[in-house]
Amino acid sequence: MATGRTKRKFWRCYVDGYDLSGFGRTIGPLAIEYDEADLTAYMSDSVKGYLRNTAMVNVGTYNGVFDNTVTTGLYALAGASGVPRNVLVAIGGRAAPADGDPCFGGTFNQVGFHNVDDGGAVTVNIPYSGWAGTASSAAYNIPWGTLLHANAQRLVADPVNDQPGYDNPLGVVSTAKGGYFMYEVLDGDGGDVTLFVEDAAAPNVDGSFAPLGDATSGLILADPGVSGIVAIGTGATVRRYLRWQIAFGTSVDVTFVSAFMRAY
């Protein structure tokens, strides 16, 4: 991971447990925008004033190269519209995304799959309409977070993460506004596995970490197409450092991406 500025070629996009980066050209805008409620008291205020109302969060439109390969093509993976999708966009710092890089994610309604001409090339636009209303969004307070585990394979031979974690970008001791955990399983042997998040106060060493509340996938299959989003509650304390963690069940081989969105 590197900090600073970057460019679009280092973005990656994961949808419902599939890596769509191979077809991907662009996705976005990645947005959180609030309605502005004009609360100016015209008789007493000298300047107009506003408060935030409800936020609109959206991942925008994915644009990729059309591919109808059976099972693994873009049409096979994302051809169905009108359904909610777990979308995670990882933003690499002048290189492919690595642990600790920023990411944007949530559950968004896919509202189309449109083949479009782009100078003779057949491409696809997949628009998303915003946060899916299939469940309450009350506990999902910020779409931005930290990529805890970039796209990589983990084997039972190296079963746990004993590395230091990633600091809260603001460097504060802890936050107490919750957040949510996202995971996208991209490949595996079909056994079961548990993915979860650990947090720690200083010092940022292996012995400081402990599982973070409800930020766990529970037992899931190590299969492509498995994904999830788990909120931990708006009042939950999240300590300063975060890292990914894994507990193998019957699986011995899993490839996944995971992230945590810390609320402030």
Judged by the rule CB under 8 A, the positions of this chain that interact with another protein are 3-8, 26, 28-34, 36, 39-42, 45-52, 55, 60, 91, 93, 101-102, 104, 141-142, 144, 169-172, 177-178, 234, 263-264
- Distance between CA atoms of residues 222 and 246, nearest Å: 12
When the beta carbons of 6 and 129 are compared against another protein, the nearer one is 6
When the beta carbons of 101 and 223 are compared against another protein, the nearer one is 101
At position 48, the amino acid (one-letter code) is K
Strand 102-110 relative to strand 174-175, pairing = unpaired
DSSP per residue, 190-214: S-EEEEEEEEEPSS-SGGG-EEEEE
Per residue, what are the HEC states of 102-158? EEEEEEEEECCCEEEEECCEEEEEEEEEEECCCCCCCCCCCCEEEEEEEEEEEECCC
Smallest gap from Cβ 262 to another protein, in A, equals 8
- Distance between CA atoms of residues 196 and 49, nearest Å: 43
When the beta carbons of 190 and 235 are compared against another protein, the nearer one is 235
Smallest gap from Cβ 156 to another protein, in A, equals 33
When the beta carbons of 49 and 112 are compared against another protein, the nearer one is 49
Check if the beta carbon of residue 150 is closer than 8 Å to that of residue 166: no
Smallest gap from Cβ 258 to another protein, in A, equals 18
Smallest gap from Cβ 68 to another protein, in A, equals 28
Longest dimension (CA), the chain: 71
Check if the beta carbon of residue 37 is closer than 8 Å to that of residue 52: yes
When the beta carbons of 108 and 144 are compared against another protein, the nearer one is 144
Does residue 20 sit in helix, strand or coil? Answer: helix
When the beta carbons of 54 and 71 are compared against another protein, the nearer one is 54
Smallest gap from Cβ 20 to another protein, in A, equals 17
Smallest gap from Cβ 100 to another protein, in A, equals 10
